C-alpha cells in the first residue's frame, strides 16, 4: 500500500493506492499544526478500511508528502534568523541582485529589501579568481571574529557564498568547518554544495534561502516522521520536490529549498499522464483549483514545463531561488476566494481567501465573508447534504445571507445574479492566468485541452475551457486530489551539476569526460543508496551552453554521458543549434559554442506497475436525480444529477447537468457534453 498526501491551504488530500484500487480522502487543513491534518486524513482512510489507524498505517510501504510549509514560512517571514557570509568587497550581492523592473517608469515602488539584511551580512577576507586560483588566503582570525558576532546576534542559520567557490571550494569548506566547531547548533549551507553553478546572485540567494529554512523544515519533517512512526507507520517517508520528483524526507531536511514548490509541482506530472491516456498526448493546460490558489501549467510534447527563474513573490520584487523547478503560475483564485465590493462599487473576487479556518460561511466554522464555494452552493452546483460524500453538512441559508449583506445589496442585484457574477469573474481571472502561459508562449488554447484538478475545479472548468475555445476539458477520476495523485506517479530523483567552462573549437575531451564521469559516479551512488531496489534507473546528462558573447545559457540534452570524438562533439553542437532555434526561432549553425555547466539527473522508478496508471475509483452504484441549478443565461433550470463513479465508459451526459462525486462537483454547462473515458476520467466537449 502506498500513501500520498498533499497539504493545501484549505484541505489536506490523501490518495491511497492499494493494489489495483485507489481511494481518495480529504480532511480540513490545520494551520496551527499541519501534521494533525495529515493524521486526520489518515484516520478517515483507516475508518474506510475498517481498521484502527495504527493497523492501517502498518500496511503502508511508502508515504509521499507535499506541503506548502516552506513557501508559507518565507511569505510570512517565519524563517530562521539568518546571516550571510561573502567575500570581502562583495556585500551587496543580495542587494544589487540582477536588475529588472515590472514597471520601468514607476519610481514610487520601493526597491525590494534583500533576503538577509545588511546588518547580518559579513565580509570574509579571502579571494579566489575565475581560474580557481587562490589570490588571497582565507583570514581565519577574521572568520573567528565574524563567528563571535554571529553568536552575539543569536543567529540561527548561516549561508556562505564566496566568489568562485564553484571552481575552488577550499575556503567555503574551511569556514563551514569552523562554524561546525564554534557554533555547532547553527544550521549552515555552503553554496558550492547546494548550487554549484554560475550567477553570483542566484547562487547566493539559493544559499541563504536554504539556510533560513533548515531549522523550520528539520523540525517539521522530523516531527512528521516521528508522529507517523508513533501512529504505526513503518515504511519510507518521502517528500515531493519543486522539480517534480520525490526525495527522502531526510534529504529534503538537509536541503529544504527543494520543497518550496513541492505541492503545485505535482499537478503537471499527473496532467501529463492523463493527457497521454485520454487525449492522445495533446498539449494540456493543467489547472489545479484549490481553496486558496489557482495553479496553472502547460504540458506539451509529453514534457513537464521547467523554469530556471523561480521567484518567491513578484518577478524582480521577490527573491530568486536559483534552482530550476516545474513552471507553475499561481493567482489568488480558488474555492475559498472571498467576494467583495471595492470603494468604487465594483465586484472583486480574491486574492484574499477564507482558507480552512474559518473557511466559507457555509462551513459553519465562523466564516463571515462570502466565497466562491458559498456562491456555488447558492447556485445549486454543490449539494449541501453531499459535500465530501455527506460527511460535512453545509449551511446554504447562511451563505445566502452573507452574500446578500456583503455584496448583493451593495450592487443592487439578486442573490442568484450576484453569485453567478462571482463565478463569472473568477472564471475571467482564471482565463487571464491561462492566457499568460499559452498565448505568451506561442500556444493557441484552441489546440490544447484543459485538465481540471483540485476539489473546486469542476465548478467552472467547463466554463473556462469554453471561454478559451479549448479542444476539450478533462476532469480526471483523481482530479480532486490531482497533486497527491501526481506524487504517486513521480520518481525518486536527484540532480548534480559541475561547472567547467570550455569552447567547442578548443574542447578538452579528457577534462570534460572526467567531469561527466564524476557526475555519473554520484548518480550511481544515489541509485545504489536511496534508489536501492528501484525497478528501473535512468541517468540523463545535459549541458548549459550558449553562443559566444551571449549572457544566458540554455540547457541542451546530451545523447550519452561521454564525448569521446569530434563526431560526438559536432552532434552536441548541432543539438545546441536545434534547441536554440526551437526556443528563439533563430540559430547560428556556423558559430562555435560555449559550454558552461555540466549536469546529470538520475531517476529511480519505484512503482511496480511502471506505467503510472491510476486505477479508477470504485463507484457505489448509480445515483440519478434532478435539482434546480442557476445559470446567468438561463436562470433556474431543472437539471439531471449523475454520480461520477457510477457512469459507464462512453455514457454521455448533456448539459445543463451536474456530475458529482464525494470530492468534486462538475458543472456541465448548457451546450456541452460530458462522457466518461475508458480510463475513468470525465471528458467534456463543446
With respect to residue 20, please indicate whether it lies within any of the assigned structural domains.
no
With respect to residue 12, please indicate whether it lies within any of the assigned structural domains.
no
pLDDT of residue 615: 43
HSE-up (13 A, CA, CB side) for residue 454: 32
Q: What CATH code is carried by the domain that includes residue 589?
A: 3.30.1490
The DSSP code for 352 is E
Per-residue confidence band for 609, with pLDDT thresholds at 50, 70 and 90: low
Q: How far apart are the first and last CA of the chain?
A: 39
With respect to residue 551, please indicate whether it lies within any of the assigned structural domains.
yes
Q: What CATH code is carried by the domain that includes residue 439?
A: 3.30.420.260
* End residue of a domain, out of 422, 450, 467: 422
Torsion of CA 142, 144, 146, 148, to 10 degrees: -140
Instruction: Assess whether pLDDT exceeds 90 at residue 370.
Output: yes
Per-residue confidence band for 624, with pLDDT thresholds at 50, 70 and 90: low
With respect to residue 319, please indicate whether it lies within any of the assigned structural domains.
yes
Lowest mean pLDDT among 119-123, 203-207, 301-305: 301-305
Per-residue confidence band for 168, with pLDDT thresholds at 50, 70 and 90: very high
Beta bridge partners of 12: 7, 27
* End residue of a domain, out of 544, 570, 605: 605
Helix-then-strand count for the chain, H and E: 18, 34
Q: What is the pTM of this model?
A: 0.84
- Choose between 131 and 8: higher pLDDT: 131
184 and 98 share a domain?
A: yes
Average pLDDT over residues 500-516: 96
Instruction: Assess whether pLDDT exceeds 50 at residue 545.
Output: yes
151 and 89 share a domain?
A: yes
476 and 509 share a domain?
A: no
Q: What is the pLDDT of residues 281-291, one digit of tens each?
A: 888 999 988 77
Domain range for 195 is 81-213
Per-residue confidence band for 608, with pLDDT thresholds at 50, 70 and 90: low
H/E stretch holding 442 reads none
With respect to residue 652, please indicate whether it lies within any of the assigned structural domains.
no
325 and 418 share a domain?
A: no
Average pLDDT over residues 156-166: 97
Contact 86, 123 (CB under 8 A): yes
Q: What CATH code is carried by the domain that includes residue 166?
A: 3.40.1360
397 and 430 share a domain?
A: no
435 and 393 share a domain?
A: no
- Positive or negative, the CA dihedral 486, 490, 493, 497 is negative
CA distance 388 to 487: 22
321 and 470 share a domain?
A: yes
Burial of 277 (0-12, 13-18, 19+ CB in 10 A): buried
Instruction: Assess whether pLDDT exceeds 80 at residue 614.
Output: no
With respect to residue 501, please indicate whether it lies within any of the assigned structural domains.
yes
CA distance 447 to 70: 36
Phi/psi at 64 (5° precision)? -110, 125
Nearest partner of 40 among 231, 219, 220, 218, judged by Cα: 231
Give the chain's domain count. Answer: 4
pLDDT of residue 307: 80
* End residue of a domain, out of 172, 189, 213: 213
Instruction: Assess whether pLDDT exceeds 90 at residue 354.
Output: no
Best-predicted range by mean pLDDT (107-111, 112-116, 453-457): 112-116
Instruction: Assess whether pLDDT exceeds 70 at residue 446.
Output: yes
CA distance 215 to 217: 6
462 and 437 share a domain?
A: yes
Average pLDDT over residues 59-78: 87
Per-residue confidence band for 610, with pLDDT thresholds at 50, 70 and 90: very low
pLDDT of residue 109: 85
113 and 191 share a domain?
A: yes
591 and 545 share a domain?
A: yes
With respect to residue 254, please indicate whether it lies within any of the assigned structural domains.
no
383 and 505 share a domain?
A: no
Per-residue confidence band for 305, with pLDDT thresholds at 50, 70 and 90: confident
Instruction: Assess whether pLDDT exceeds 60 at residue 617.
Output: no
Average pLDDT over residues 152-159: 97
Q: What is the pLDDT of residues 565-602, one digit of tens each?
A: 999 999 999 999 999 998 888 999 999 999 999 999 99
Contact 48, 22 (CB under 8 A): no
C-alpha cell at 472: 476539450
- Choose between 361 and 455: higher pLDDT: 361
Output the average pLDDT for the chain.
Answer: 90
With respect to residue 479, please indicate whether it lies within any of the assigned structural domains.
yes
301 and 438 share a domain?
A: yes
pLDDT of residue 622: 47
Amino acid at each position: 500500500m502506498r500513501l500520498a498526501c498533499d497539504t493545501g491551504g484549505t484541505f489536506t488530500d490523501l490518495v491511497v493506492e492499494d493494489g489495483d484500487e485507489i481511494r481518495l480522502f480529504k480532511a480540513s487543513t490545520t494551520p496551527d499544526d499541519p501534521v494533525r491534518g495529515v493524521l486526520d486524513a489518515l484516520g478517515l482512510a483507516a475508518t474506510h478500511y475498517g481498521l484502527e489507524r495504527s493497523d492501517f498505517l502498518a500496511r503502508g510501504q511508502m508515504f509521499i508528502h507535499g506541503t506548502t510549509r516552506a513557501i508559507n514560512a518565507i511569505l510570512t517571514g517565519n524563517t530562521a534568523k539568518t546571516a550571510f557570509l561573502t567575500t570581502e568587497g562583495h556585500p551587496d550581492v543580495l542587494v544589487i541582485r540582477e536588475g529588472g523592473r515590472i514597471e520601468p517608469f514607476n519610481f514610487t515602488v520601493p526597491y525590494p529589501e534583500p533576503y538577509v539584511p545588511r546588518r547580518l551580512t559579513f565580509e570574509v577576507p579571502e579571494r579566489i579568481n575565475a581560474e580557481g586560483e587562490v589570490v588571497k588566503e582565507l583570514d581565519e582570525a577574521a572568520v573567528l571574529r565574524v563567528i563571535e558576532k554571529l553568536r552575539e546576534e543569536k543567529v540561527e542559520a548561516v549561508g556562505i557564498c564566496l566568489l568562485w567557490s564553484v571552481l575552488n571550494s577550499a575556503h567555503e569548506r574551511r569556514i563551514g568547518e569552523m562554524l561546525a566547531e564554534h557554533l555547532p547548533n547553527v544550521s549552515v549551507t555552503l553554496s558550492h554544495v547546494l548550487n554549484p553553478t554560475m550567477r553570483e546572485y542566484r547562487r547566493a540567494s539559493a544559499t541563504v534561502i536554504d539556510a533560513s529554512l533548515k531549522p523550520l523544515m528539520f523540525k517539521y519533517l522530523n516531527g512528521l516522521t516521528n508522529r507517523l512512526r508513533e501512529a504505526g507507520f513503518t515504511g519510507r517517508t518521502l517528500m515531493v520536490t519543486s522539480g517534480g520528483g520525490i526525495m527522502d524526507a531526510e534529504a529534503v531536511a538537509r536541503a529544504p529549498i527543494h520543497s518550496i514548490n513541492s505541492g503545485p509541482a505535482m499537478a503537471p506530472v499527473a496532467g501529463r499522464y492523463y493527457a497521454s491516456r485520454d487525449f492522445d498526448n495533446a498539449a494540456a493546460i493543467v489547472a489545479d483549483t484549490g481553496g486558496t490558489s489557482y495553479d496553472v501549467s502547460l504540458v506539451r510534447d509529453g514534457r513537464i514545463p521547467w523554469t530556471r527563474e523561480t521567484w518567491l513573490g513578484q518577478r524582480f520584487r521577490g527573491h530568486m531561488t536559483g534552482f530550476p523547478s516545474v513552471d507553475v503560475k499561481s493567482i489568488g483564485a480558488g474555492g475559498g476566494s472571498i467576494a467583495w465590493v471595492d470603494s468604487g462599487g465594483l465586484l472583486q473576487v480574491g486574492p484574499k481567501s477564507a482558507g480552512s479556518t474559518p473557511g466559507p460561511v457555509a462551513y459553519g466554522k465562523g466564516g463571515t465573508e462570502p466565497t466562491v464555494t458559498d456562491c456555488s452552493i447558492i447556485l445549486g452546483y454543490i449539494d449541501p447534504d453531499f459535500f465530501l460524500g455527506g460527511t460535512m453538512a453545509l449551511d446554504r441559508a447562511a451563505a445566502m445571507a452573507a452574500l446578500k449583506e456583503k455584496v448583493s445589496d451593495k450592487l443592487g442585484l439578486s442573490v442568484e445574479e450576484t453569485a453567478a457574477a462571482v463565478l463569472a469573474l473568477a472564471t475571467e481571472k482564471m482565463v487571464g492566468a491561462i492566457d499568460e502561459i499559452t498565448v505568451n508562449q506561442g500556444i493557441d488554447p484552441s489546440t490544447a485541452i484543459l485538465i481540471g484538478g483540485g476539489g473546486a475545479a469542476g465548478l467552472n472548468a467547463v466554463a473556462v475551457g469554453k471561454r478559451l475555445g479549448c479542444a476539450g476539458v478533462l476532469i480526471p477520476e483523481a482530479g480532486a486530489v490531482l497533486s497527491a495523485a501526481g506524487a504517486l506517479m513521480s520518481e525518486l530523483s536527484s540532480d548534480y551539476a559541475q561547472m567547467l567552462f570550455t569552447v567547442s573549437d578548443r574542447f578538452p575531451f579528457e577534462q570534460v569526460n572526467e567531469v561527466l564521469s564524476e557526475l555519473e559516479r554520484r548518480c550511481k551512488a544515489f541509485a545504489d543508496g536511496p534508489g536501492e531496489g528501484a525497478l528501473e534507473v535512468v541517468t540523463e546528462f545535459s549541458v548549459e551552453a550558449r553562443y559566444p558573447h551571449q549572457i544566458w545559457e540554455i540547457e541542451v540534452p546530451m545523447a550519452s554521458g561521454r564525448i569521446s570524438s569530434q563526431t560526438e562533439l559536432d552532434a552536441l553542437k548541432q543539438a545546441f543549434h536545434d534547441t536554440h532555434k526551437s526556443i528563439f526561432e533563430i540559430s547560428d549553425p556556423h558559430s562555435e559554442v560555449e559550454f558552461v555547466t555540466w549536469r546529470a539527473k538520475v531517476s529511480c522508478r519505484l512503482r511496480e506497475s511502471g506505467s503510472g496508471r491510476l486505477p479508477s475509483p470504485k463507484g457505489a452504484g448509480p445515483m440519478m436525480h434532478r435539482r434546480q441549478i442557476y445559470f446567468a443565461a438561463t436562470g433556474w433550470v431543472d437539471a439531471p444529477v449523475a454520480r461520477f463513479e457510477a457512469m459507464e465508459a462512453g455514457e454521455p451526459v448533456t448539459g445543463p447537468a451536474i456530475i458529482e462525486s464525494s470530492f468534486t462537483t462538475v458543472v456541465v454547462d448548457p451546450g456541452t457534453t460530458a462522457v466518461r473515458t475508458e480510463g475513468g476520467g470525465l471528458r467534456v466537449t463543446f
